[in-house]
Chains A and B, each alone.
Chain A
């Protein structure tokens, strides 16, 4: 997916959504204080459905496939992808497809922040990562440091045959040579902006909001 021309500093006409994907009918800008909503519930659902199909296409079926969500919001995303894959692929149990991978203890910035709560690492019952195609799932891809930590965490769990990465939003500004295999939406951002992903499971509603910059 090619990212459109992001012009963060351009003279504002209207707070235009980034002109990438086929223009969805109404991307409603939320009220100014809360920032600009770039993905609503319907777009989030569509992105996930597309990613689920892309994963299936690329891995040629769900055999030996394992989706590992990175807490907090990667985990519900992994579960939703597993459900969608199970919907189209016969004989797949979504419970056996999705797990969680906590990366807290592998982060390189632990001493720069107040102590973080450790999340749960849980593979589906009876499954290991050895020889599997593992798709890491997270909400936002930014510096790439979380994914680096995830690769280390995964390495301690076993030896997957391949590791891929699915994210709902890629906001750029990579600090490490890491890229996503499946992207819900490329969101060119400036460093002063924040991207906030909300999901029904954790926040009551699906949305992606950009705030903080002048768009």
Chain B
């Protein structure tokens, strides 16, 4: 149906395929409001969660998604495994292959590791990128698109906006774009779905080469909110752990902006900026949040914020991805 073998990048998805994934996710979400949430669909399939980098919600989300579809789940985290003894990605992959994994969900600190795993011929399994370095995090973009479509394209008859895309919607993605794989995946996917994206960030946190991305760039959050009235604002986490300053802790951020307080004043979403948004606009955050830095408690807990819903939608979207990659006949792929 989709012809997908792996999900490595949001760029793998054209518009019909992306809409198919979101529609499938809508049906999955419908099953998750039932008393019995488990479906027998992937009985006998094995999904390995291969996490070389810390993660709570993504790993738990994939684990829940696989288990709700009755797949067997093996969790593998680099800490406490042979990776800490120096085992290479290749040897780890060969081990997984020997164990008969049908899908490998991989998060890795190196950009491109999932691509290597998928194309090096080490494993037969379908590979799902759960975040690689500062490159891609396609399932996060899909769950963001799913959440956006529900709120901006859904109506009484079609709450999930099934069959629709995001044509004509405007999304502002605000904050640490430089270190954000979420921003990269979202720019690609939301544009594919017909939305217009504006990145808002201090110049130090805008990546080199952003001119080539299919989006606008601004350094002025108030201006974007007041003049362009976006349908959604997506706040990005300030990734202090990737800012690598010499002296550890919160002051690392100083290599990218003068002070956390100044960042908050210029690029944080607070009650004042929340009031400037149009009435229908929603507030998103991929989590985990730095409350008081990129988003104030007022904004994070307001009725506009769909941050908790994003987590719930994450399970449905990952169920859809696993279903589309694993349920059909395997011959069709090769």
Contacts and interface: CB of A to CB of B under 8 A. Distances in A.
Q: How large is the interface on A (under 10, 10 to 19, 20 to 34, 35 or more residues)?
A: 10 to 19
Interface stretch (A50-58, A111-119, A165-173): A111-119
Interface stretch (B35-43, B83-91, B284-292, B301-309): B35-43
A102 B1 CA distance: 18
Contacts of A49: none
A116 B34 contact: no
Interface string B1-25: 1100000000000000000100110
| Interface SS, B side | loop
Nearest to B20: A117
Nearest to A118: B27
A152 B34 CA distance: 14
Contacts of A156: 34, 36, 38-39
Given A102-B27, A110-B327, A115 B2 contact: yes
B208 interface: no
B94 interface: no
B205 interface: no
A156 B69 CA distance: 13
Contacts of B69: 105
B329 A111 contact: yes
B329 A113 contact: yes
A178 interface: no
Contacts of B330: 111
Interface in A81-129: 102, 105-106, 110-121
Contacts of A115: 1-2, 323-324, 327-328, 332
A191 interface: no
A34 interface: no
Contacts of B36: 156-157
A73 to B, nearest CB: 18
Contact of B27 (A113, A114, A120): A120
B8 to A, nearest CB: 18
A121 B332 CA distance: 27
A121 B31 contact: yes
Contacts of A116: 1, 327-328
A111 B330 CA distance: 7
A152 B329 contact: no
Contacts of A121: 27, 30-31
Given A118-B27, A121-B31, A157-B34, A113 B328 contact: yes
Contacts of A102: 27
B34 A110 contact: no
A110 B45 CA distance: 12
Contacts of B24: 117-118
Nearest to B27: A118
A120 to B, nearest CB: 7
A116 B2 CA distance: 10
B27 A111 contact: no
Interface in B293-334: 323-324, 327-330, 332
Contact of A105 (B34, B41, B329): B41
Interface string A143-160: 000000000100011100
B19 to A, nearest CB: 12
Contacts of A117: 1, 20, 23-24
A105 B30 contact: no
B328 A110 contact: yes
B39 A106 contact: yes
A157 B34 CA distance: 7
Nearest to B324: A115
Contacts of B324: 115
Nearest to B2: A115
Contacts of B329: 111-114
Given A105-B69, A110-B328, A120-B27, 18 more contacts: A106-B41, A110-B327, A111-B328, A111-B330, A113-B329, A114-B1, A115-B1, A115-B2, A115-B323, A115-B324, A115-B328, A116-B328, A117-B24, A118-B27, A118-B323, A121-B27, A156-B34, A157-B34
Closest 9 pairs (CB-CB, A-B): A115-B328, A105-B41, A118-B27, A115-B1, A156-B36, A105-B39, A110-B327, A114-B332, A114-B328
28 contacts: A102-B27, A105-B39, A105-B40, A105-B41, A106-B40, A110-B41, A111-B327, A111-B328, A111-B330, A113-B328, A114-B328, A114-B329, A114-B332, A115-B1, A115-B2, A115-B323, A115-B324, A115-B327, A115-B328, A115-B332, A117-B1, A120-B27, A120-B30, A121-B27, A121-B30, A156-B34, A156-B39, A157-B36
